[in-house]
């Protein structure tokens, strides 16, 4: 163990980087926040990418997660993986899996990758519908098999929305049957193509049902060796917080606030730097590696420093006067930003839903403005507070009739 | 800020306040509550929405990963 690190330094020490190495993608996901498909016109060269790896290593980064688009569609992706591993950092990747052949999985392993996570949002047609491609589920299943066979650590990751929620337990079982040893879950929020499908999104009051299911799966995952990992927009507090945040294995963990720009960093394929890869680019890019060092952007850019320096007065709405305001600081910056237009008031919160329920109330999101149709865009939603009404069980929208590419 | 698991429902509770979920009050402390207070909650920061979950202990949590057991707030 190294010597003690001063609390102030620990609070802002870069540990975790999520790097979109290309926006090119072989799927057409109907909830894709970045509207991935074609590569950006000015993506980093191999030399520039290796320089990024060097800079991140010098900053003490623990793990770099490669994403896309689809990361393996970049020709030099294994060279980037090797550079990361050679510098002692953990190299991992999230994939939709359409082209994750046995050879590609083995190439990743040979280059030094530690783990891969396959995105799975349902069984069969439910997954295909969300991923915009008939056969996507079968491809993802093959990817699970190929990654497992190559000897990489294997994880799954899933979106929670009205389509996937009824199948969460089946997804869990499918992942476990194919060798996954962990499962990360995130709530689908209205960014990019998902903003065009508000009928897919959960309503805040439905978190009461969602968290009962998550608690059940967390207990099952702990018993069966496939713990679930709540993403940063799944929370917060309530009676299942320690069960979920502790992966069902320990009961001393709780949400400690957004990590964007505190211990996490997002990089876009053109070298733009954000505190979190999900944050809308127009407001949250703090600089570009072609113009400044990552260290300088990390230290100086106001958008990177935002979460570090956020005050209670930056919170608003329910979150401003919340019991947990001081420790939570409004939950996930991204989720609040893309639903209600600015950070600091997060409607997707279990404690908030429980508190409203106790007072005979519930909150519902109503879309007031459509998304303009560019990467990382979002529409505008209004939060309606209304008397509690016992909801129906969460189910896919009957009106969902979406184009599935062949 | 120190959080403790509510001895009744496990909701994280701010020291010296009632549980916001079940209303259990912090005093007088029961033996279960005393045990709970002894094990204060760590504030977890692992788990990016895109991440592959790192199974190493406390990965991604700078408060505990480098200095396990030495958190300034006297965490568990």
Query: Which residue bears the tokens 């040979």?
Result: A110
DSSP-assigned beta bridge partners for residue A73: none
Q: Is the pLDDT of residue A255 over 60?
A: yes
Query: Which residue bears the tokens 């120190």?
Result: B2
Q: E-strand spans in A120-263?
A: 153-160, 183-187, 228-230, 253-255
For chain B, the residues whose C-beta falls within 8 A of a C-beta of chain A are 1, 3, 5-6, 9-12, 14, 17, 20-22, 39-55, 59-63, 65-68, 70, 72, 75-76
Question: pLDDT value at position A78?
Answer: 98
Q: Which residues of chain A make contact with B12, given a CB cutoff of 8 A?
A: 237, 241-242, 254, 324
Residues 6+ apart with CB under 8 A from A187: A159, A160, A161, A202, A231, A233, A234, A335, A348
Interface of A with B in 266-325 (CB under 8 A): 276-278, 323-324
User: Residue A5 carries which DSSP code?
Assistant: P
Span A221-238, pLDDT tens digits: 999 999 999 999 998 999
Cis previous bond, A69, omega within 30: yes
**Angstroms from B64 CA to nearest CA on chain A:** 9
Query: Which residue bears the tokens 């994880």?
Result: A155
d(CA B2, CA A327): 9
Percentage of residues in chain A having pLDDT higher than 90: 89
Average pLDDT of chain A is 93
Closest alpha carbon within chain B to A184: B53
Question: pLDDT value at position A253?
Answer: 86
CB A114 within 8 A of CB A91: yes
d(CA A324, CA A280): 26
Q: For the CA atoms of A8, A11, A13, A15, what is the dihedral angle to 10 degrees?
A: 160
Answer left, alpha or beta for residue A35, where phi above 0 means left and psi between -120 and 50 means alpha: left
Q: Is the pLDDT of residue A38 over 70?
A: yes
A241 close contact with B: CB closer than 8 A: yes
| Total residues belonging to chain B | 76
User: Residue A399 carries which DSSP code?
Assistant: T
Percentage of residues in chain B having pLDDT higher than 90: 16
Query: Which residue bears the tokens 């508000």?
Result: A198
Select from A5, A18, A237 the Cβ nearest to the Cβ of B50.
Answer: A18
CB B26 within 8 A of CB B6: no
Question: pLDDT value at position A159?
Answer: 97
**Angstroms from B44 CA to nearest CA on chain A:** 5
> Residue B61 — very low, low, confident or very high, per pLDDT cuts 50/70/90?
very low
Q: Which residues of chain B make contact with A118, given a CB cutoff of 8 A?
A: none
Query: Which residue bears the tokens 């929620």?
Result: A165
Query: What are the phi and psi torsion angles at A17 (to 5°)?
Result: -120, 130
Span A103-132, pLDDT tens digits: 999 999 999 999 999 999 999 999 999 999
Question: pLDDT value at position A7?
Answer: 54
Say how many Å lie between the first and final Cα of chain A, rounded. Answer: 53
A261 close contact with B: CB closer than 8 A: no
Q: What is the mean pLDDT of residues A276-304?
A: 96
> Residue A251 — very low, low, confident or very high, per pLDDT cuts 50/70/90?
confident
Chain center to CA of A225 = 22
The tokens of A339 are what? 């639903």
> Residue A373 — very low, low, confident or very high, per pLDDT cuts 50/70/90?
confident
d(CA A226, CA A213): 15
Span A322-367, pLDDT tens digits: 999 999 999 999 999 999 999 999 999 999 999 999 999 999 999 9
Q: Is the pLDDT of residue B69 over 60?
A: no
Predicted ipTM?
0.86
User: Residue A37 carries which DSSP code?
Assistant: B
Asked if A153 and B66 come within 8 Å (Cβ–Cβ), the reply is no
Identify which has the larger pLDDT, B73 or B37.
B37
Q: What is the mean pLDDT of residues B15-21?
A: 91
Q: Which residue stretches of A37-149 are H helix?
A: 46-58, 77-86, 102-111, 125-131, 136-149
**Alpha-carbon Rg for chain A in angstroms:** 20
A254 close contact with B: CB closer than 8 A: yes
Q: Which helix (H) or strand (E) holds A7?
A: helix A7-11
Question: pLDDT value at position A5?
Answer: 46
Angle between helix A102-111 and A77-86 (nearest 10): 30
Q: Which residues of chain A make contact with B66, given a CB cutoff of 8 A?
A: 1-2, 5, 10
d(CA B43, CA A355): 22
């Amino acid at each position: 163990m190294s010597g003690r690190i001063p609390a102030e330094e620990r609070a802002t020490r870069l540990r975790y980087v999520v790097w979109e190495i290309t926006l090119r993608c072989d799927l057409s996901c109907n909830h894709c926040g970045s509207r991935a498909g074609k590569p950006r016109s000015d993506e980093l060269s191999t030399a520039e990418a290796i320089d990024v790896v060097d800079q991140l290593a010098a900053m003490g980064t623990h793990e770099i997660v490669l994403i896309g688009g689809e990361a393996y569609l970049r020709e030099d992706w294994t060279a980037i993986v090797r550079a990361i591993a050679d510098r002692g950092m953990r190299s991992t990747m999230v994939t939709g899996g359409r082209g994750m052949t046995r050879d590609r999985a083995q190439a990743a392993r040979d280059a030094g990758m530690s783990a891969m996570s396959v995105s799975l949002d349902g069984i069969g047609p439910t997954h295909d519908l969300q991923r915009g491609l008939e056969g996507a589920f079968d491809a993802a299943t093959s990817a699970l098999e190929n990654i497992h066979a190559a000897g990489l650590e294997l994880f799954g990751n899933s979106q929670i929305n009205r389509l996937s929620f009824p199948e969460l337990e089946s997804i869990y079982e499918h992942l476990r049957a194919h060798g996954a040893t962990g499962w990360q879950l995130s709530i689908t929020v209205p960014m990019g193509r998902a903003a065009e499908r508000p009928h897919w999104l959960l309503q805040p009051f439905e978190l009461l049902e969602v968290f009962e299911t998550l608690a059940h799966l967390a207990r099952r995952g702990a018993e069966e060796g496939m713990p679930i990992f709540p993403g940063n927009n799944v929370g917060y507090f309530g009676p299942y917080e320690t069960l979920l945040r502790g992966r069902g294995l320990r009961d001393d963990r709780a949400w400690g606030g957004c990590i964007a720009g505190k211990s996490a960093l997002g990089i876009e394929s053109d070298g733009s730097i954000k505190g979190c890869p999900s944050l809308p680019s127009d407001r949250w890019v703090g600089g570009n590696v072609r113009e400044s060092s990552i260290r300088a952007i990390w230290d100086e850019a106001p958008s990177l420093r935002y979460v570090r320096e956020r005050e209670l007065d930056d919170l608003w709405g329910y979150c401003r006067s919340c019991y947990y305001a001081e420790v939570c600081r409004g939950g996930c910056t991204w989720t609040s930003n893309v639903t209600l237009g600015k950070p600091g008031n997060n409607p997707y919160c279990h404690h908030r839903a429980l508190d409203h329920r106790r007072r005979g109330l519930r909150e519902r999101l109503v879309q007031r403005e459509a998304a303009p149709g560019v990467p990382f865009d979002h529409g505008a939603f209004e939060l309606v507070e209304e008397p509690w009404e016992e909801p129906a069980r969460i189910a896919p929208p009957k009106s969902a009739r979406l184009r599935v590419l062949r | 800020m120190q959080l403790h698991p509510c001895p009744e429902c496990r909701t994280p509770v701010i020291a010296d306040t009632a549980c916001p979920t079940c209303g259990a009050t912090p005093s007088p402390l029961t033996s279960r509550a005393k045990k709970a207070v002894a094990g204060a909650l760590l504030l977890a920061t692992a788990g990016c929405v895109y991440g592959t979950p790192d199974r190493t202990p406390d990965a991604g949590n700078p408060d505990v990963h480098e200095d396990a057991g030495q958190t300034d707030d006297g965490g568990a």
